[in-house]
Amino acid sequence: MRKLFFTLLVVFAAIGSLSAQEFLDPVKWDVSVKQENGERYNILMTATIDEGWHLYSQKQFGEEFEGPIPTEFAYNNTPETYTLVGETQEPDVTPIHDPVFDLDVIFFEDKATFIQPIEVVNPDGLEIEVEIYYSVCDDEKCLPPDTKTFKLNLASGQAKKASAEITQEDLEKSAALTIDIKGKDQFKSDAEESEKDFLTLFLLGFVGGLIALLTPCVFPMIPLTVSFFTKGSQDRKKGMFNAVLYGFFIFVIYVLLSLPFHLLDSVDPEILNNISTNVTLNIIFFIIFMVFAFSFFGYYEITLPQSWSAKMDSKANSIGGFVGIFFMALTLAIVSFSCTGPILGSLLGGSLTSDGGAMQLSMGMAGFGLALALPFALFAMFPNWLNSLPKSGGWLNTVKVVLGFAEVALAFKFLSNADLVEHWGILKREIFIAIWILCALGLALYLFGFIRFPHDGPKKKKLPVGNILVGALSVVFLLYLLPGLTNTSYANLKLLSGFPPPLFYSIYDKDTEAPLGLEAYKDFDKGMEAAKASGKPVMIDFTGWACVNCRKMEEQVWSEPEIHKTLSEEYILISLYVDDKEEMAEEDQFNFLKPTGGTKRIRTIGDKWATFQTINFKNNSQPYYILMDTEMNLLNKPVGYTPDSEEYHQWLLQGLERFNEEAKTAITNRN
């Protein structure tokens, strides 16, 4: 409970600071090095702590992770440069019992100096690097752990925060990323997410939770748990209340799982996009999903360590009350992980590879948690409904196999993301669709009884109705996918837009490398030059190789004849891929000086265009569309994902109309 309480303090403090747009930094560090005698020096690290806050000792409290986060120091010492003499010393303070952690802890207030004695071996040009890892709390909240790195010069004894060096060339290249956009105030873009998008994700999460209810890890728990609450309590109303509270805690636990991603989003607005397009992470997701799939097929079982569930169960039994019910809910989450984990992984991966990040993930997790929680509350209120539940049996294993085939199909989406970002060319659109066809075929063969898996029981003489219905749907889906293998207009599978690779990423020869055969410039400056030469306005398309909604816009909206004609004939299209991992030439790479301080290494093409979008348009979501003329005048309000074709077309025409009006005005003024 102490660990849980501390975690909640950290998370809610982070979310609270997010909502207030306030970033607290209550500890200021002063680091220096002083000679004691001969080759003996002392590294002095003094923390000045704001009033009301306290910094914790280096000593570990209780068992691992049982108490507050201790302060840690790391040094770059080597036998050739300098050696550490003993451990880092800290002020001698009497331990105080902390009621939050129920432990004796040591913390410092106002000011604290830590000393690390060192023996210098080679003082010539010695630069000492100190990394400080710490967390601070006040009476109400704890802040997430922070890390500060300092570099000390032995000769001067002074330190500076470690950061990339900024040269004059870096400053010039940083300045070149900023353009003077006119009309920002007139056409301010909405920063808020669409409530409709959030509702959709909530409903998708809810559907995922309903699917999880039908798995062997969760379904049998419903009557057992509800009976425990309703029959185990002499007061029926109290039993119902406890069951409802149990469901509420299930909901809360799954929402809490998404909160750390809000913290990541606040640290760096581009971090979730970087996670979703990171090649290594996408490959890891691919492997994990394949492992989960074969677990669903019955070849092995994946569970969290049994000690975790045993410990949570013992906590629930020993503590009792509201806290005990919470641990019962946590036990369910751990025990059911082998079935819910793959579904949660799909939700996590889907949210991060879409463009809403943390908030979308929270909405999806809330829907998932609510779907899992509802049966426990409803059946507690109406126990007679339990009689209508189907009995556990082989059909639960069939559900797992269906999910297994879905996991295989989704796994290749992550591999496709990595392939697109790195331009490997190994998973072209038609190959991807062929794999999905095989998944649909395999599912149909299984449901019709032609394929068996290890955990299946004896083959039934008569196929269940559910098998026939779902098997038929698999065949229909297979037939829908078949045109995707062709090089015809029917290859645009609009219902699946965003999942397969884009149409131009094909095994067939295409006229251009842009969507739908359009001409698109992938460099802003070159696109603007073409616009000036043609006398046309530009549409800047901030997109991504792994952006699902970008593909939906291209294949469902841009493909409409009138929109396609407007884009190809009236505009110069500039598509800037913010997740392109292709490294720029060494001479083009630089350290970008952020307006708020600090630096960011611009190493890849994606780094450049992501930063370009953020600093100029104060937006980091994709797709994001801007209409402007060659004088950097915005023609109307930038928009994001707009699945309504008519609305999007009107937006294009509105920009074109304004461009023509300004052109006429300019001609009149010249005359």
Residue with tokens 């930063």: 611
Task: Find out whether 372 and 211 touch, Cβ atoms under 8 Å.
Answer: no
Task: Find out whether 442 and 405 touch, Cβ atoms under 8 Å.
Answer: yes
Residue among 403, 422, 356 at smallest CA distance from 196:
356
SS3 per residue for 264-285: HHHHCCCHHHHHHHCHHHHHHH
Confidence at 13, pLDDT banded by 50, 70, 90: very low
Give the span between the Cα atoms of 404 and 411, in whole angstroms: 10
Residues 6+ apart with CB under 8 A from 549: 354, 355, 498, 622, 623, 641
Q: Identify the CATH number of the domain in which residue 542 sits.
A: 3.40.30.10
Please tell me the predicted confidence (pLDDT) of residue 473: 94
Is 527 a member of any domain?
A: yes
Is 594 a member of any domain?
A: yes
Please tell me the predicted confidence (pLDDT) of residue 607: 84
Q: Sign of torsion, CA 619 620 625 626?
A: positive
Give the span between the Cα atoms of 113 and 90, in whole angstroms: 6
Domain boundary among 133, 162, 191: 162
Give the span between the Cα atoms of 119 and 115, in whole angstroms: 13
Tell me the residue type at 544. G
Residue among 511, 424, 514 at smallest CA distance from 432:
424
Judged against a pLDDT cut of 50, whether residue 161 lies above it is answered with yes
Kindly report the average pLDDT of the chain as a whole number. Answer: 77
Phi/psi at 92 (5° precision): -85, 105
Please tell me the predicted confidence (pLDDT) of residue 20: 34
pLDDT digits (tens, 9 = 90+) for 263-295: 655 444 455 555 555 778 788 888 888 888 888
**What are 320-324's contacts with CB under 8 Å, separation 24+?**
322/245, 323/1
Is 540 a member of any domain?
A: yes
Q: Is 565 exposed, middle or buried (0-12, 13-18, 19+ CB in 10 A)?
A: exposed
The helix (H) or strand (E) run that includes residue 223 is helix 221-231
Residue with tokens 């492992």: 291
Is 656 a member of any domain?
A: yes
Residue numbers of the domain that contains 591: 515-670
Is 599 a member of any domain?
A: yes
**Bigger pLDDT: 54 vs 323:** 54
Rounded to two decimals, the pTM is 0.49
Confidence at 357, pLDDT banded by 50, 70, 90: low
The helix (H) or strand (E) run that includes residue 601 is strand 599-602
Is 320 a member of any domain?
A: no
- Count of residues making up the chain: 671
Q: Identify the CATH number of the domain in which residue 119 sits.
A: 2.60.40.1250
Confidence at 86, pLDDT banded by 50, 70, 90: very high
Is 143 a member of any domain?
A: yes
Q: Count of domains in the chain? A: 2
pLDDT digits (tens, 9 = 90+) for 615-654: 888 776 778 899 999 998 999 999 988 888 999 999 999 9
Domain boundary among 102, 133, 162: 162
Domain boundary among 162, 193, 211: 162
The helix (H) or strand (E) run that includes residue 495 is none
Per-residue pLDDT, averaged over 516-545, amounts to 91
Judged against a pLDDT cut of 50, whether residue 167 lies above it is answered with yes
Tokens of 250: 């299930």
Is 221 a member of any domain?
A: no
In the chain, % of residues over pLDDT 90? 20
Give the span between the Cα atoms of 559 and 579, in whole angstroms: 23
Task: For 331-348, give the DSSP string.
Answer: HHHHHTHHHHHHHHHHHH
